[in-house]
Chain A
Amino acid sequence: MNADIHTLTGAYALHALSESERAAFEDHLAQCAACRKEVSEMRETAARLGSAVATQPPESLKQDVMASIRRVRQLPPDEGPIIPLRGRKWPLRVTALAAAAAAIAAIVLGSQVIRLDDEATRAEQRLAEVSDRYETVADMIAARNTKIMAAKSGDMRATVVVSRQHGKVAFLPKEVPEPGENKTYQLWLIGPDGAHSAGLLADQDTPVIADTIAGANVLGVTVEPEGGSEQPTTEPVMTMALG
């Protein structure tokens, strides 16, 4: 193991690395079993430090939590990449292609269950068609330092792909409730200097691909009047950290 990068285990376990260092360290972590063990032990240790500041939350929080989980569907085991790809156990170059294929297949197949051979064949044809449309996304997925995240908020589900190498963020809708009459969903990249529009969601099947903005580390989705807004005018229906 590289002695220098290995000293980052502490800072990593405490979430004290900058984004770029974290990415680099996670690449290292994927190949260093000793580092993974050390990080895991340090997280246990940090949890003890956290436990030492335990504070009773307001009583009402439990009801709020119980009410909100009733609206949230649980992930089945091993549904696919929800953890950043960098958290994988295998070198990226091997998994990226598999992940790209899986991601495209997931887009194409959605929730359908394919039982028959001819259905499989048709799905394969559609896969070929759609993979063109998703070429950019597939490229992003195959690149180094790419993060794939499953996002869910209320009834909205999406996959978000962040590629540092391409400097792009892709928002792939999975389930999108009607935004309401004369309304549209608008995506925002939010950083210290505010929100920047990342485009409008055309429909449930079309990914939105936007250039990343330096410092913007949160992706937000709001409901806006048709045509979109200069700045968000409503509370986000979904936000997620891109870091």
Chain B
Amino acid sequence: MHGATPERPSSGTPDLRAVAQSGHQDLMSQVARGDEHAFAELYDLLAERVYGLVLRVMRDPAQSEEVTQEVFVELWRTASRFQSERGSVTSWAMTIAHRRAVDRVRSSQSTIDREARMAASQRDTPFDSVADEVANRFEQHQVRNCLDTLTELQRESVGLAYYQGYTYGEVARLLDTPLGTIKTRLRDGLIRLRDCLGVSR
């Protein structure tokens, strides 16, 4: 259907970087033209990732389903605005998903709740539990291996910000570390991950 596009997996376990890497401009163009079949294909490619991330941040399965649905509606609605030169489809979708999950968590929780949640999750070790709950996929191994190349502070900072939706100010308080240090650790950590994962554009 898309010429040189690699064949898409027919079910269940989409190739994890198929969306990110090739041929998806075609799929997105079809979605932008209102093709529901193409959108169903996009859903199959992204649903596990979007839902997994949203669930990770929000924790509550019912709310996570709701937000996942909102994310896909947004992808549908704004498909014509997707610009492949600005990044991959996966990155676009996951950015929207993370943003929505974080917004929802921040708007629905009173300051007191957030303080309580912060206290409760002191020194939560996000990446260890990641390893427990995921199957042995290549991608996850790779992410896991690259996370191991980070310093402990980089790893904790990135994990608390990304997987738990904390602001860097909250991360600084949780880790009892100066704000400026957390700021640079988030950046250094992501740069190291980027290089390790071979992300470049």
A positions within 8 Å CB-CB of B: 7-11, 13-18, 37, 40-58, 61-62, 64-66, 68-70, 72-78, 82-83, 152, 190-193, 217-218, 241, 243
Contact = CB atoms under 8 A, between A and B. Distances in A.
Q: Give the most central of B144, B161, B190: most A CB within 10 Å.
A: B190
Nearest to B82: A77
Given A75-B80, A75-B81, A47 B91 contact: yes
A51 B163 CA distance: 11
Contacts of A75: 77-78, 80-81
Contact of A43 (B43, B68, B87, B169): B87
A102 B159 CA distance: 42
B24 interface: no
Interface of B: 16, 20, 32, 34, 36, 39-40, 43-44, 47-49, 51-53, 55-56, 65, 68-69, 72-73, 76-81, 86-88, 90-91, 93-95, 97-100, 102-103, 106-107, 109-111, 130, 133-134, 139-140, 143-144, 158, 161-163, 165-169, 171, 182-184, 186-191, 193-194, 197, 199-201
A9 B191 CA distance: 10
Most-contacted residue by chain B among A8, A10, A61, A68 (CB, 10 A): A10
B139 A48 contact: yes
A-B pairs, top 8 by smallest CB distance, nearest first, are A10-B187, A10-B186, A55-B52, A57-B51, A50-B53, A47-B94, A54-B48, A16-B161
B114 to A, nearest CB: 9
A56 B48 contact: yes
A72 B78 CA distance: 11
